[in-house]
Amino acid sequence: MKIKKLICFINIFLFCILLSTANTFAVEGAKGIIKERMDKFKESKQLMKKINVGLQNDNFKVIEESAQMLLLWSKEMPKFFPKGSDISPSEASSDIWLNPEGFNEAIKNFELASLDLINQSNTNDRDKTINAFRNLAGTCKGCHQKFRN
Ligand code: HEC
């Protein structure tokens, strides 16, 4: 009886180890530049949330600072998409490299919308800033529809 119990524990123990390593592999699936840009996009999502909260509190300083970070990211973004980096688990569409002008245009739209949000937040005008925020969110979505699987 005791031995049976022990074997049962050992089995559970081994099963847990198996599970945790499987999980590690999944997390490590995205490597190098792909992992870096995924992290950058996750950060973009957080920044958009921060801007949204800033709009509710009329905190134009937070909005401007977050938009500055997005502007910076728009300028770096092309470097994060080297040819052939549409490898699983990346969701990058191969259209990024088949239609480089279209992709650059989508980045440019994002850059200009970030810049506009910075400028509007400096006016401390709530409605104008909300509009600029909506336009910016539209450039995220626009690019995803065309260039994200
Ligand atoms: C010019 C194109 C483009 C713009 C602009 C853009 N994205 Fe993306 N986004 C992508 C692509 C391509 C991927 C897929 C990257 C990959 O998996 O390799 C992606 C992935 C993501 C992801 C998933 C990241 C992950 O963990 O896999 C999030 C979240 C995201 N974007 C949010 C945003 C937000 C928020 C904005 C705007 C503030 C934005 N993106 C603007 C192209 C864009």
pLDDT digits (tens, 9 = 90+) for 62-107: 999 999 999 999 999 999 999 999 999 999 999 999 999 999 999 9
- Record the tokens describing residue 129, joined without a space: 């800033």
Residue nearest to atom 5 of ligand 1 (CA): 140
Ligand 1, from 33, 72, 144, 145: best to mutate by most atoms within 8 Å of Cβ?
144
d(Cα 4, Cα 129) in Å, to the nearest integer?
67
Q: Would you say residue 27 has pLDDT above 50?
A: no
Q: Please state, in angstroms and as integers, the Cα–Cα distance from residue 143 to each residue in 20, 89, 105, 109, 136, following that order.
A: 35, 19, 9, 9, 11
Nearest to 52 by CA among 42, 39, 62: 62
Residue nearest to atom 30 of ligand 1 (CA): 41
d(Cα 122, Cα 15) in Å, to the nearest integer?
57
- Record the tokens describing residue 27, joined without a space: 């997390």
Instruction: Calculate the average pLDDT of the chain.
Output: 89
> How many CA within 13 A on the CB side of residue 21?
5
Query: Ligand 1: which residues within 6 Å by Cβ?
Result: 34, 37-38, 41-42, 44-45, 48, 70, 90-92, 106-107, 110, 139-140, 143-144, 147-148
